[in-house]
Amino acid sequence: MEVFERRRLRVVLEITSLDLCYPEKVAGVFNAMATLLSDANAPFIFLLAVDPSVIVPCLEQTGCMKGLADNGYLYLNRAVTLPFSIPEMGSRSRMRSVE
């Protein structure tokens, strides 16, 4: 397809709702991401929306981190290239949004 389009194509995968999954599935998603991104020329971009305070205990319960990181936060930090967070909304901000 890239030959016909004459441009590099990207596949964007959005990963959400991991907090609803069992710890083994959460670890499986991170393993799949690592596998797909193992090639430097891989056409994949992952958008991962997670609450670290929920995902880290899941990762720490499984054996996926053995030898890779001391804790789940370090593992998550190594897996995410461009982390950012959205602060919680205060009650005033919520009220302004509703109005």
The verdict on residue 95 lying in a domain is: no
- Which spans in 37-83 are helix H? 52-61, 72-79
The verdict on residue 3 lying in a domain is: no
The verdict on residue 39 lying in a domain is: yes
pLDDT digits (tens, 9 = 90+) for 53-77: 899 888 888 877 777 666 888 888 8
The verdict on residue 96 lying in a domain is: no
pLDDT lower than 50: segments of the chain: none
> What range does the domain containing 19 cover?
11-79
Which residue is associated with the tokens 């990207």?
Answer: 10
Which residue is associated with the tokens 């797909």?
Answer: 36
Which residue is associated with the tokens 């999954």?
Answer: 21
- List, in sequence order, every residue forming a beta bridge with 48; answer none if it has no partner: 15
pLDDT in the model for residue 68: 65
Torsion angle (degrees, nearest 10) of CA 10, 12, 65, 16: 180
